[in-house]
A and B are shown apart, each in its own frame.
Chain A
Amino acid sequence: MFFVQKKSPLKLTSLALSSALVLTGCVGEQTTSGDDTTSDTKQVTVFGVMIGEQQEKIEAALAPFTEETGIEVVYEGTDTFATTLPIRVDSGNPPDLAMFPQPGLMADFAREGRLVPLTEFMSLEDLQAAYDESWIQLGSVENVPYGVWYRASVKSLVWYNPQQFAVNGYEIPTTWDEMLALSDRLVSEGKTPWCIGMESGDSTGWAGTDWVEEIMLRTAGPNVYDQWINHEIPFNDPAVENAVNIFGDIVRNEDYVYGGVVSALSTPFGDSIQGLFGEDPNCYLHKQGNFIEAFLPTDINLNEDVDVFPLPQINPEQGLPILVAGDVFAMFNDTPEARQLMEYLASKTPHEVAAGLGGYLSPRQGIDLALYPTDLSRKQAEILGNAEVIRFDASDMMPGAVGTGTFWSGMVDYVGGADAETVLTNIENSWPE
């Protein structure tokens, strides 16, 4: 068309414009490929929750992959993962891989068909060789596996200061009653037994839901726990109310908790554990997952100053269940590079590298305990490995509106003084149909 017609000023201008566009287009391409010599560096983008020190560790665990394959991994960490990722996916800009801190959100995307099932490029046998069945199930939606577990966390830990325990002659409680007896003894000595910190930005409340889940597992047992997650029993079932009240006996007891309820609500979860240390500690017991190690003051000797014991049993019939959480990788964009990275993540290498860096537990089978740098993490890996019953953090498995919504805020309300029945009825009413 251009060439047949005679050139009017109009055509000239548009010609100039379009040629300028072509020109810039070329320049643009040159700049992106101009940085490197190989001219076609392959990339995988990863979006995850780990930031700061955790981010350095995961980058170290991913480094062997880049060395081996030459594929660059661009990791982007955020502390508003649950808000940011859906926005990015909805706007058509998903990362190649995302590291989900809860399988619930991953399952949402899987049901929407946004994720690539693992079985499209990995054999089920390989996956089963790498992971225990319960972990594979946790990363599956309707029996189709989507997730490769990178990191496990053990929630059922009570942290204490062994030196203080030795000096004062306190003993490690093995039952819930012994633990409460120890708490009462501490109170009678004019001390405060517990440090609890629930503040966590827009996720405030999860520390409270963890407590209730632990108590649910220990009083009602894993079967009722599963029914609770799947909403086969109502959220305001007497079993749940019982668990909430047992939690309340500790958290709402102003003698038990350092600074009382206001402190429990406003202390950032990461600062709370610092109360265990010093000549005259603020508190003597702190229940928190293994990840809290990263928040310990830097002058703490991990082999001497701090230790853990599993949160004791309540009902001997239910034994000692262990509550876990973890980070799971799933794939949005089906590229050869992304597939390679997913396979690498299921291999031993990243787990072994991360284990050696500390503050990390592997959900994978066959990771040598000797690789963990401290007695502390070895002990946690043992607690995880020996657990008879493992259950995933319930709030992460429930629909987002409850698990990351009303359950969190409900626990905040309960600790703040609302009664258990009202709180649980509100949560029950918010359960999506």
Chain B
Amino acid sequence: MEFWTRLLNVVLAIAIGCGGVIGLFYLANIAINALPKPWNQRLLPWVYISPALLLLSAYLILPTMQTFYLSFLDGRSQNFVGLKNYIFAFTDRAMLIAFKNNLLWLVLVTGVSVSLGLIIAVLVDKVRYEPIIKSLIFLPMAISFVGASVIWKFMYAYKPAGDDQIGVLNALLVNFGFEPVGWIVEQSVNNFALIAIMIWLYTGFAMVILSSAVKGIPEEVIEAARIDGANSWQIFWRITIPMIRSTILVVSTTIIILVLKVFDIVFVMTGGNYGTEVIASRMIKEMFNYRNFGRGSAIAIVLLILIIPVMISNIRRFRTQEKLR
């Protein structure tokens, strides 16, 4: 009995959910058509985008404005404190470490995963085992940040010399006669250890998209280059890269945005300790652990401002591409 009521519930929910949306547009259409001539044409587009606009303002625009407003108030959002939270965001010792680390993340994750992705895409192009190699490299994409961090926690696990090493990397080191390394504790290596996780996750993404761009290069162009006597190296630098440049930029900007938002890896691996904090993990700490809404919001706004130029360039590129078509 319960099963059937539940099933009925599900069916009805789907019917109303989908039917409701269709019905809404249908009704809106009727209402618009009932209006006098010049008006209905002008209003029609607005009616169609209004649900999306409403949702966007409720879930994106209003919270952003609210955050902006809170960033000028104190920790409990009661008194106006002017730019104090922003001054904190740019002068606090922990924040400066976070900025420095984020820059390191940006350069290394974007640089390494895009170039590795490109190299692999070009190298395996038209190779017999291409699908297998590509699937293997793409696989980590399916793992969440938290899942990947847990996996790498085991990779980096440290036991004192003399104990059985349970971490793969330290087991290898000890086997070759070296001392085990505290990968996520020692400040000389830990940031790189965390960055490696994200590179592992996103090289596959860059590779797949760049590979399809590489395959999109017309065969005639390459043939012409060959006939003119270009070697593979020259083809790569003079033909492949210029022809897929816009794709490289789109992949890079996408990864840049992802890196600016990265928080999960740091949260799981080190909790921001040992000098590994990034901007987003600092934001979560200020906002939810220390309950300082002013500082948390200010950091969120700083992060937003950092991301905006990247997004604008992404949109511009998309537009010029559309025009070319």
State the A residues within 8 Å of B (CB): 9-10, 13-14, 17, 20-21, 23-24, 27-28, 30-31, 34-35, 82-83, 86-87, 108, 112, 201-205, 258-260, 262-263, 265-266, 282, 399-401, 404-406, 408-409, 412-413, 416, 426, 429, 432
B16→A17 contact, CB < 8 A: yes
Interface 0/1 of B67-87, CB less than 8 Å to A: 000000001100000000000
A265→B23 contact, CB < 8 A: no
A86 in complex: contacting residue of B2, B75, B291, CB < 8 Å: B291
B184-192, B197-205, B208-216, B222-230: which lies at the interface:
B184-192
Chain B residues within an 8 Å CB radius of A202: 267, 271-272, 289
Size category, B interface: 35 or more
B289 in complex: contacting residue of A10, A205, A262, A400, CB < 8 Å: A400
Task: Please judge, given known A-B contacts A263-B160, A400-B290, whether A201 and B271 are in contact too, CB under 8 Å.
Answer: yes
| Nearest Cβ on chain A to B34's Cβ, whole angstroms | 9
A10 to B24: give the CA distance in the assembly, Å: 10
B289→A265 contact, CB < 8 A: no
A216 to B184: give the CA distance in the assembly, Å: 30
B143 within 8 A of A: no
B111 within 8 A of A: no
Chain A residues within an 8 Å CB radius of B158: 262-263, 266
B289→A24 contact, CB < 8 A: no
Nearest chain-B residue to A399 (Cβ)? Answer: B290
A82 to B284: give the CA distance in the assembly, Å: 12
Identify which of B9, B31, B286, B291 gathers the most chain A CB atoms within 10 Å of its CB. B291
Chain A residues within an 8 Å CB radius of B184: 266
Chain A residues within an 8 Å CB radius of B90: none
A432→B75 contact, CB < 8 A: yes
A262 to B180: give the CA distance in the assembly, Å: 10
A21 to B271: give the CA distance in the assembly, Å: 46
| Nearest Cβ on chain A to B209's Cβ, whole angstroms | 34
B284→A83 contact, CB < 8 A: yes
B290→A405 contact, CB < 8 A: yes
| Nearest Cβ on chain B to A28's Cβ, whole angstroms | 7
B5 in complex: contacting residue of A31, A400, A413, CB < 8 Å: A31
Task: Please judge, given known A-B contacts A27-B5, A202-B267, whether A401 and B27 are in contact too, CB under 8 Å.
Answer: no
B318 within 8 A of A: no
Task: Please judge, given known A-B contacts A17-B23, A204-B271, A262-B182, whether A34 and B16 are in contact too, CB under 8 Å.
Answer: no
| Nearest Cβ on chain A to B33's Cβ, whole angstroms | 11
A404 in complex: contacting residue of B5, B30, B289, CB < 8 Å: B289
B13 within 8 A of A: yes
Interface 0/1 of B93-107, CB less than 8 Å to A: 110000000000000
A119 to B27: give the CA distance in the assembly, Å: 56
B273→A14 contact, CB < 8 A: no
B128 within 8 A of A: no
B134 within 8 A of A: no
Chain B residues within an 8 Å CB radius of A404: 289-290
A17 to B288: give the CA distance in the assembly, Å: 41
A265→B185 contact, CB < 8 A: yes
20 contacts between A and B (CB under 8 A): A13-B27, A20-B12, A20-B16, A27-B5, A27-B8, A28-B9, A86-B288, A204-B270, A205-B273, A259-B159, A260-B160, A265-B182, A265-B185, A266-B185, A401-B292, A405-B285, A405-B289, A405-B290, A409-B273, A432-B75
A409 to B266: give the CA distance in the assembly, Å: 14
A258 to B187: give the CA distance in the assembly, Å: 20
A14→B27 contact, CB < 8 A: yes
| Nearest Cβ on chain A to B93's Cβ, whole angstroms | 6
A262 in complex: contacting residue of B93, B163, B186, B272, CB < 8 Å: B186
Chain B residues within an 8 Å CB radius of A260: 160
| Nearest Cβ on chain A to B178's Cβ, whole angstroms | 14
B182→A24 contact, CB < 8 A: no
Nearest chain-B residue to A429 (Cβ)? Answer: B93
A87 to B292: give the CA distance in the assembly, Å: 13
Task: Please judge, given known A-B contacts A20-B16, A405-B289, whether A258 and B271 are in contact too, CB under 8 Å.
Answer: no
Chain A residues within an 8 Å CB radius of B271: 201-204
Chain A residues within an 8 Å CB radius of B275: 413
A24→B12 contact, CB < 8 A: yes
A416→B12 contact, CB < 8 A: no
B182→A266 contact, CB < 8 A: yes
B27 in complex: contacting residue of A10, A83, A258, CB < 8 Å: A10
B6 within 8 A of A: yes
Identify which of B75, B76, B271, B274 gathers the most chain A CB atoms within 10 Å of its CB. B271
B63 within 8 A of A: no
B20 within 8 A of A: yes
Nearest chain-B residue to A35 (Cβ)? Answer: B2
A108→B291 contact, CB < 8 A: yes
Nearest chain-A residue to B157 (Cβ)? Answer: A266
Task: Please judge, given known A-B contacts A24-B9, A83-B289, whether A204 and B160 are in contact too, CB under 8 Å.
Answer: no
| Nearest Cβ on chain A to B18's Cβ, whole angstroms | 12
A24→B16 contact, CB < 8 A: yes
Chain A residues within an 8 Å CB radius of B163: 259, 282
Interface of chain B residues 246 through 304 with chain A (CB within 8 A): 267-268, 270-275, 284-286, 288-292
A34→B2 contact, CB < 8 A: yes
